[in-house]
Amino acid sequence: MKVKYIFIIIAFSFLYACENNYDHNWDERVRIPNSFSPDDDSYNEMWCIDADDVSKCLLIVTDQDGIEMWRTTNVFTCWNPGSSIPGGIYYYYLHVEFADGLQHDYSGELYLLH
């Protein structure tokens, strides 16, 4: 019987700890799509990041060789390369500083489809 009580206490402690950390869930503050298709069909023409409470940022997109393709310090500026660059895999790096002073880095693959 003692094992059941210990499990309940541990489970309750875990749930309470997670409940208090909701402000630090980075995925709720920044939403980054992993693909877009700038092919003049009026759908997904630009790569846009959706973010809440960002006060500063640095966003860089590179090709597979590490050559910088695009850079911005405004998280709400969308990238639209049109058909000037080939489709394929690109990489992004995003550093954000939130209005509350917390900072976080994001990086990943970005699929450009033509």
Give residue 8's pLDDT: 46
Using an 8 Å Cβ cutoff, are 84 and 106 in contact?
Answer: no
4 or 17, which is more confident: 4
Residue-wise pLDDT for 46-86, tens only, equals 999 999 999 999 999 999 999 999 999 999 999 999 888 99
Q: What is the pTM (predicted TM-score) of this model?
A: 0.75
Could you give the C-alpha distances from 103 to 29, 81, 94, 100, in angstroms and in order? 11, 28, 11, 9
Q: In whole angstroms, what is the distance from residue 111 CA to residue 114 CA?
A: 10
Average pLDDT over the chain reads 83
Question: How far is CA 95 from its chain centroid?
Answer: 10
Spell out the CATH class of 26-112: mainly beta
Q: In whole angstroms, what is the distance from residue 13 CA to residue 30 CA?
A: 28
Containing H/E element for 5?
helix 2-19
Average pLDDT, integer, range 23-47: 83
Using an 8 Å Cβ cutoff, are 82 and 41 in contact?
Answer: no
Give residue 77's pLDDT: 96
